[in-house]
Amino acid sequence: MTMPDSPAVAVSVLSADFAHLDVALEAVRSSGADAIHLDVMDGHFVPNISYGPAIARDIVRASGLPCHAHLMVDDPERMFPAFVAAGATEVVIHVEASGDLLRVLDALHRAGVARGLALNPGTAIETLFPLLDYVDSVLVMSVEPGWGGQSFLPEAVGRVRRLRDEALRRGLSLRIAVDGGVTLENAAALGHAGADAVVVGSAFFASPDRAAFVASLRGVG
Ligand code: DX5
Ligand code: ZN
């Protein structure tokens, strides 16, 4: 069982005040977080709509941090090139999305960006197993995608463990990240189960001391 000393921390800016995005980005930068997590919602794959590639590009440029695009969209093949062009260093598509996922993963690889696959809480973790040779990371959703600020679904811990076991059995150096409702209370269990990154949105922005919050998240492994 892998037990990372120091899980990477990506901040979802979904819960930021978009009227003051510069303030939010400075908060992320000065917190020492590793990356920014961009939640892209199309109103079809999930009922909500967030933002598209133009805003993603501005965040990439203004933040100076690696930015991961989490595409909660149908037909990611049509959408992903705009996020690669926007400067995302990793593009994550959903295993439940329509279209030829392997073709998208191959195109992402050829474009030189990291390839991630996300899966919803209701999707069997084994669905991913045939695809693990073609990805750099898996994003285990610990809430139903669509909104920030939801409560963590504790089944995610066991799902991370099953995925880590499978990756170890096959000798894959898979990065496993967890997204949704992550707090200091549940991050330790995720780290012990084999997650090496967490995404935090509302808990980050609600924290009075973001640098201390990020340091504590890293300390839980
Ligand atoms: C949910 C998003 C998450 C989420 C993270 O659809 O993928 O990234 O907003 O935010 P919190 O930490 O508030 O759940
Ligand atoms: Zn996300």
For position 220, what pLDDT does the model report?
67
For position 68, what pLDDT does the model report?
98
Q: How far is the CA of 170 from the centre of ligand 2 (A)?
A: 27
- Rounded distance between C-alpha atoms, residue 202 and residue 204, angstroms: 5
> Got the DSSP string for 1-26?
----SS-EEEEEGGGS-GGGHHHHHH
Nearest atom (ligand 1) to Cα of 148 = 9
- Rounded distance between C-alpha atoms, residue 95 and residue 219, angstroms: 31
What letter would DSSP give residue 147?
-
For position 1, what pLDDT does the model report?
34
For position 219, what pLDDT does the model report?
85
Nearest atom (ligand 1) to Cα of 152 = 14
For position 24, what pLDDT does the model report?
97
Tens digit of pLDDT per residue, the chain (221 long)?
A: 334 457 899 999 999 999 999 999 999 999 999 999 999 999 999 999 999 999 999 999 999 999 999 999 999 999 999 999 999 999 999 999 999 999 999 999 999 999 999 999 999 999 999 999 999 999 999 999 999 999 999 999 999 999 999 999 999 999 999 999 999 999 999 999 999 999 999 999 999 999 999 999 998 64
What letter would DSSP give residue 49?
B
3-state secondary structure of 190: helix
Instruction: For a ligand 1 pocket test, name from 38, 150, 152, 185 the mutation site with the most ligand atoms within 8 angstroms of its C-beta.
Output: 150
Which domains, from first to last, does the chain contain? 8-218 (3.20.20.70)
Count Cβ atoms within 10 A of the Cβ of residue 209 and give its class: 0-12 exposed, 13-18 middle, 19 or more buried. exposed
Model confidence pLDDT, tens digit, residues 181-217: 999 999 999 999 999 999 999 999 999 999 999 999 9
Structure tokens given for 146: 């669509």
157 lines ligand 1 (CB under 6 A): no
For position 200, what pLDDT does the model report?
98
Radius of gyration in angstroms for the set of CA atoms belonging to the chain, rounded to a whole number: 16
Structure tokens given for 38: 């961009």
34 catalytically annotated: no
37 lines ligand 1 (CB under 6 A): yes
Residue of 34, 39, 74, 196 marked active site: 39
| Number of the ligand closest to the Cα of 147 | 1
3-state secondary structure of 16: coil
22 catalytically annotated: no
For position 78, what pLDDT does the model report?
95
Instruction: For a ligand 1 pocket test, name from 11, 13, 14, 73 the mutation site with the most ligand atoms within 8 angstroms of its C-beta.
Output: 14
- Rounded distance between C-alpha atoms, residue 132 and residue 109, angstroms: 14
15 lines ligand 1 (CB under 6 A): yes
For position 2, what pLDDT does the model report?
38
